[in-house]
Amino acid sequence: METPSPIPTPRPSPSPEPRRRSKSPRVLSRTLTVALIVATLFVAFTPGTLSGNLSDQLNLLLTPQPEQGLLPGGTPRPRIKIGIVAGHWGNDSGAVCENGTTEVDVNLRIATLVQQKLTAMGFETDLLEEFDPRLKGYQAAALISVHNDSCVYINDQATGFKVARAMSARDQNLAGRLESCLRDRYQRRTGLPWHNSVTNDMTLYHAFDEINADTTAAIIETGFLNLDYRILTENTDQVATGVVDGILCFINNENIAPTALP
């Protein structure tokens, strides 16, 4: 509470006129605030916009808005849940490179960063093992499984990433959108090419049949552990951000550029 300013002692006046009470600082403050808002509205809105109800716009600006994360009445807003599977984690090593690097270690580093980034944004996230018991009937807005391809040199074209949606999903439109979002945003972020060699191990991925059919899911192989080794192991944060970008594209229903035909 503000401490009222001391009332100054009135000076004697030769005139018998009654003294006028000045407006309080609080009234002046409110008057100035409304004046500034009105001025802002007339400057900011175009003539086309002003055709709307100016009174409604003022009421919206002057009405206290609910706190972020709370519904009317103070009820906490439910958080969006996302599952991240670290491929091979808790089961086997996956691909093993000549220098000792294992696919499971790279997968886990990427998946952990994805989970941390999403948690920092306010999502409820689960970091899951390859055959995690929680996958049985798992319910979430999305589930992404992170994997990588072979360490062995195949040819100069063995570079890039792959994405496959869960064909067992009840809503194939949503599943296709998640796949497209991951493909578009991951490529934009990392610059890695799309590698058109999706296998049955991806399309028939075991977790797709374990989770709830209403959970939209996809698997991504973020690169080849041979030609893409450097970005996967040295720029892991960039790789993880590419996956996060794809998830946010799906959750926020963002636009996706049309995919060029080969």
161 domain-assigned:
yes
The answer to whether residue 157 is domain-embedded is: yes
Question: Beta strands of the chain (E only): which ranges?
Answer: 81-86, 124-128, 142-149, 162-165, 216-224
pLDDT digits (tens, 9 = 90+) for 87-133: 999 999 999 999 999 999 999 999 999 999 999 999 999 999 999 99
Within a domain: residue 76? no
Whether residue 13 is predicted with pLDDT greater than 90 in this model: the reply is no
d(CA 145, CA 207): 9
The pTM is what? Answer: 0.71
Residue 170 lies in a domain: yes
Q: What is the pLDDT of residues 129-150, one digit of tens each?
A: 999 999 999 999 999 999 999 9
Per the structure, the count of domains in the chain is: 1
The whole domain housing 117 covers 81-251
- Which tops the pLDDT comparison, 133 or 16? 133
Domain membership of residue 10 (yes or no) is no
Once rounded to an integer, what is the mean pLDDT over residues 65-69?
Answer: 42
Strand-pair category, 124-128 with 81-86: parallel
CB 162 within 8 A of CB 220: yes
Q: What are phi and psi of 250, to 5 degrees?
A: -70, -50
Six-digit token pair at 180? 């497209």
Task: For the beta carbon of residue 26, count every other beta carbon within 10 angstroms.
Answer: 10
List CB contacts of 160: < 8 A, sequence separation 6 or more.
Answer: 192, 193, 194, 195, 223, 224, 228
Residue 233 maps to which CATH number? 3.40.630.40
Evaluate whether residue 31 is within a structural domain: no
Is residue 4 in a domain?
no
Comparing CA positions, the residue from 229, 204, 244, 194 lying closest to residue 103 is 229
